[in-house]
Structure 1
Amino acid sequence: MDKDLDLIWEQILTKAREELPPGAGDIWLKTCMPVSLREGTLLLDVPNVFVKEQIQSRFLAPLQKMIEGAGLASRVELRVGTEVRSGEQDRAEKAAQPPQPPQATRSGLNPAYVFGNFVVGKSNRLAHAASLASAESPGVAYNPLFIWGGVGLGKTHLMHAIGHYVLEKGPSARIVYLSSEKFTNELISSIQNKRMQDFKSKYRNVDVLLIDDIQFLANKESTQEEFFHTFNSLHDAKKQIVISSDRPPKEIKMVEDRLVSRFEWGLVTDIQPPDLETRIAILQKKAELRGYRIEEEIIYFLAQNIPSNIRELEGA
Structure 2
Amino acid sequence: MSLNDPETIWETLRQGLAQKLPERTYQDWVEPCRAIKFDGSSLWLQTSSHSAKIWIEQQLAEEFHDVLVQSDLAHLKLVFSVQGDAGVKAAKAVAGKAKVVAPQPVEELPDPFPQGFQRYTLDRFVVGPGSQLAMAAANAIVDNYGRASTSLNMNPLFIYGGSGLGKTHLMIGIGKGLRARSPELRVAYLKVDNFFNELTVAIKAKNTEPMRKKYQQNDVLLLDDVQTLAKMERTQEEIFYIFESLLQYGKQIIITSDKPPQKLEGLHDRLITRFKWGLTADIQPPDFETRVAILRKKLEEDVFKDLGAKVPDDVLTFIAHKAKGSVRDLEGLLTRVVFQSSFLGLPVSIEVAAQAFQGQTGIEATSNVSLERICRMTAETFNISFSDLVKKKTRTQSILIPRQVAMYLARELTTSSLAEIGRSFNDLHHSTVMNAIESVKTRMQKDPDLHKTVHSLLNSIS
Distance 2:327 2:119 in 1: 15
| Counterpart-to-counterpart distance in 1, 2:245 and 2:127 | 33
Query: Match for 2:163: what amino acid?
Result: V
Residues 1:286 and 2:298 are matched in the alignment: yes
**In structure 2, how many angstroms separate the alpha carbons of the residues matched to 1:186 and 1:244?**
19
What percentage of residue pairs aligned between the two structures are identical?
Answer: 43
Name 2:122's counterpart in structure 1: 115
Unmatched segments (≥5 aa) in structure 2? 1-48, 62-76, 79-109, 334-462
SS of 2:253's equivalent in the other structure is strand
Report the more deviating stretch, 155-164 or 288-297: 288-297
Per-residue deviation, 1:100: 5.1
Is contact 1:181–1:216 with CA below 8 Å preserved after alignment?
A: yes
- Equivalent position of 1:128 in the other structure: 135
Give 3-state SS (helix, strand or coil) of 1:147's partner.
strand
Q: Distance in 1 between matches of 2:199 and 2:144?
A: 30
Report which structure shows greater RCO (CA 8 Å, sep ≥6): 1
Could you say which structure has the higher strand fraction? 1
Q: 1:130, 1:142 within 8 Å by CA — same for their partners in 2?
A: yes
- 2:54 is matched by which residue type in structure 1? P
Q: Is the 8 A contact 1:179 1:212 kept in 2?
A: yes
Query: Aligned in 2, Cα 1:106/1:190: closer, same or farther, shift over 3 Å?
Result: farther
* CA–CA distance in structure 2, aligned partners of residues 95 and 166 of structure 1: 33
Q: Distance in 2 between matches of 1:251 and 1:172?
A: 36
What's 2:197 paired with?
Answer: 185
Taking a change above 3 Å as real, the CA distance of residues 106 and 192 of structure 1, as seen in their structure-2 partners, is: farther
Q: How does 1:274-313 map to 2 (within 5 A)?
A: 274-289=286-301, 290-291=304-305, 292-313=309-330
Give the structure 2 partner of residue 222 of structure 1. 234
2:257 alignment counterpart: 245
Query: For the residues of structure 2 that align with 1:189 and 1:135, how far apart are their CA atoms?
Result: 34
TM-score, normalised to structure 2's length? 0.46
- Against the structure 1 CA distance between its residues 108 and 193, is the aligned structure 2 distance closer, same or farther, given a 3 Å change threshold? farther
Alignment of 1:52-131 (within 5 A): 98-99=54-55, 101=57, 106-109=111-114, 110-131=117-138
Partners of 1:194 and 1:138 in 2: CA distance: 37
Return the offset for 1:220: 1.0
Amino acid in the other structure paired with 2:329: E
TM-score (norm 1): 0.67
- Return the letter of the residue paired with 2:112: S
Residues 280 and 299 of structure 1 are in contact (CA less than 8 Å); yes or no, is this contact kept in structure 2? yes
Q: Which amino acid aligns with 1:219?
A: K
SS at the partner of 1:238?
coil
1:232 match: 244
Residue 277 of structure 1 aligns to a residue whose secondary structure is helix
Distance 1:96 1:297, change over 3 A: farther
Alignment counterpart, residue 187 of structure 2, candidates 166, 175, 193: 175
The aligned counterpart of 2:276 is 264
Cα deviation, residue 106, structure 1: 3.6
**5+ long unaligned stretches in structure 1:** 1-92
Match of 1:244, SS state, is: strand
Distance 1:236 1:312, change over 3 A: same
Amino acid at match of 2:154: Y
Looking at structure 2, the residues matched to 97 and 175 of structure 1 have their Cα atoms a distance apart, in angstroms, of: 29
Q: In structure 2, what is the Cα distance between the partners aligned to 1:279 and 1:311? A: 11
Give distance in 2, aligned partners of 1:96 and 1:185: 30
Count residues in correspondence.
Answer: 224
1:223 partner amino acid:
T
- 2:174 matched to 1:159? no
- CA distance in 2 between partners of 1:286 and 1:95 (Å): 16
Is 2:207 the counterpart of 1:202? no
Structure 2 Cα separation of the partners of residues 195 and 145 of structure 1: 30
| Counterpart contact for 1:108–1:178, Cα < 8 Å | no
Deviations 1:264-302 (A, max 9, x none): 000011000000000000011111212232111110111
Q: By how many angstroms is 1:250 displaced?
A: 0.8
Cα distance change, pair 194–96 in 1 and its aligned pair in 2 (3 A): closer
Range with greater deviation from structure 2 (222-231 or 136-145): 136-145
Counterpart amino acid of 1:124?
S
1:96 Cα offset (Å): 8.2
Matched position secondary structure for 1:98: helix
> Partners in 1 of 2:230 and 2:289 — Cα distance?
36
Letter in 1 for 2:331: E
CA contact (8 A) 1:138 1:208 kept: no
Which residue of the partner structure matches residue 81 of structure 1?
none
Moved more, 100-109 or 189-198: 100-109
Q: Matches of 1:130 and 1:95 in 2, distance apart?
A: 36
Regions of 4+ moved over 3 Å = 93-97, 102-106, 138-141
The amino acid across from 2:327 in the alignment is I
Check conservation: 1:138, 1:239, Cα contact below 8 A: no
